[in-house]
Amino acid sequence: MKKSVAIAILALTAVTLSACSTVKGLGRDIESVGQAGEEAIN
């Protein structure tokens, strides 16, 4: 069980890091998720 959770976390991390190769890109991604959530609430 622990092994499959660790593999899932590693896969998610790899996908996240490959999607935005810079810290600035990661910040933009997080900001866009926050804005989408805010718009959904309103």
The boundaries of the domain holding residue 37 are 2-41
Residue 22's pLDDT is 67
Question: How many domains is the chain built from?
Answer: 1
Q: What is this structure's pTM?
A: 0.42
- pLDDT value at residue 16: 73
pLDDT value at position 4?
Answer: 81
pLDDT value at residue 20: 56
pLDDT of residue 21: 61
Q: Which residues of the chain have pLDDT under 70?
A: 1, 18-23
CA 35 – CA 16 distance, rounded (Å) = 18
Contact 37, 29 (CB under 8 A): no
